[in-house]
Amino acid sequence: MAQLSTFTWGIFPYICLTVMIVGTIYRYHSDQLTWGSKSSELLEKKLLTSGSMLFHIGILFVLAGHIAGLLVPIEFYNAIGISSELYHGAAIALGGLSGLIALAGISILLYRRIAKARVRMNSDMSDYVSDGLLWLVIVLGLAFTLGYGLLNGPYEYRATVGPWIRSVLMFQPDIALMAGVPLLLQVHIALAFVLLGVSPFTRLIHMYSMPIGYLTRAPLLYRTSYGYGGSYGRATAARRPAIHQPRTQPQPEPVPVPAEEPATPDPARPFERALGESLDPVAGSGSRSRR
């Protein structure tokens, strides 16, 4: 049991984080053309719009809550006068609400991927792995926050999981901190690490390029972005001429060409003079300039 605990909380997180970092670097260098979350909007739009919107809004708040709860030490909250009751009340209300919104979103996306034939036919195993894992991790997190928290009272993870994750990030994993953590939360955390480990090999890769431009870009990159008001649309529109306008280049001013002066026959070169007259008997020596 001690060995399992050492592996799970002292070695496994590093395996997952290493695969995540090395996998991301590898994919960046080997497969940049597929970097991103390829759009399936043409295959089905209604469920995608609602599911994606709900999932992304919810998950951003969930992850912000994780940073506030796990990376900020409990001493900070005590120092600024936020009591344990206030903290956990807010965590259950805000964390629970964000988690429910994210769950609604990922459930819609997962349903769409399985139930809509056109989307299903264009999905591969990595899509099911990422969507399925996301769904599971979110369900377990919510089950803990809402189920466990409401049944047993708030669990002070800021004294166990929080210091443990910080010890992992400092490369000094304190495995003992995870010993008394409820199993539900342990499974949530272990699966979250699996999710991080597989992320470079799925469409989740797009989260590492900080896709803030996604918020304002045209939904499909290979469709014209005319008419989109966001920064992406404006930037690309500014680079292109308006539709149906001929691509006219500014023409340079015509340079006046000086009139040709008839070449003066060179009395010193009789052969050339004779040749010129034979080629152009009217103008005589004009042949020289025409050569």
| DSSP 8-state symbol, 156 | -
Q: Is 95 in the site for ligand HEM (CB under 6 A)?
A: yes
Choices 32-40, 192-200, 225-233, 272-280; region in contact with ligand HEM by CB under 6 A: 192-200
Rounded CA gap, 253 and 250, in Å? 9
CB of 121 to ligand HEM, least distance (A): 27
Q: Is 16 in the site for ligand HEM (CB under 6 A)?
A: no
Q: Is 134 in the site for ligand HEM (CB under 6 A)?
A: yes
Q: Is 109 in the site for ligand HEM (CB under 6 A)?
A: no
Q: Residue 189's closest CA among 69, 85, 30?
A: 69
Residues 154-183 that bind ligand HEM (CB under 6 A): 157, 161, 165
Q: Is 145 in the site for ligand HEM (CB under 6 A)?
A: yes
Q: Residue 160's closest CA among 69, 284, 241?
A: 69
Q: Is 70 in the site for ligand HEM (CB under 6 A)?
A: yes
Q: Which CB atom, from 20 or from 134, has the smaller least distance to ligand HEM? A: 134
Residue that has been written with the tokens 């926050």 in this structure? 145
| Per-position DSSP letters for 31-44, written without gaps between them | -GGG-S----TTT-
Q: With beta carbons less than 8 A apart as the criterion, state whether 96 and 88 touch.
A: no
Choices 21-29, 58-66, 207-215, 218-226; region in contact with ligand HEM by CB under 6 A: 58-66
CA distance readout (Å), 182 to 88, 91, 155, 161, 200: 17, 18, 9, 10, 29
| 68: exposed, middle or buried (Cβ count in 10 Å: 0-12, 13-18, 19+) | middle
Q: Is 201 in the site for ligand HEM (CB under 6 A)?
A: no
Tell me which amino acid residue 40 is: S
Rounded CA gap, 277 and 287, in Å? 8
Q: Which CB atom, from 22 or from 64, has the smaller least distance to ligand HEM? A: 64
Q: Which CB atom, from 136 or from 237, has the smaller least distance to ligand HEM? A: 136
Q: Is 137 in the site for ligand HEM (CB under 6 A)?
A: yes
Q: Is 54 in the site for ligand HEM (CB under 6 A)?
A: no
Question: What is the torsional sign of CA 135, 140, 143, 149?
Answer: negative
Q: Residue 216's closest CA among 237, 234, 241, 238?
A: 234
Q: Residue 185's closest CA among 113, 243, 137, 250?
A: 137
CB of 250 to ligand HEM, least distance (A): 55
Q: Which CB atom, from 58 or from 276, has the smaller least distance to ligand HEM? A: 58
Q: Which CB atom, from 193 or from 201, has the smaller least distance to ligand HEM? A: 193
Q: Is 65 in the site for ligand HEM (CB under 6 A)?
A: yes
CB of 71 to ligand HEM, least distance (A): 10
- End-to-end Cα spacing for the chain: 100
Q: Is 219 in the site for ligand HEM (CB under 6 A)?
A: no
Q: Is 142 in the site for ligand HEM (CB under 6 A)?
A: yes
Binding residues for ligand HEM, per CB under 6 A? 62, 65-66, 69-70, 91, 95-96, 98-99, 102, 134, 137-138, 141-142, 144-145, 149, 157, 161, 165, 185, 188-189, 192-193, 195
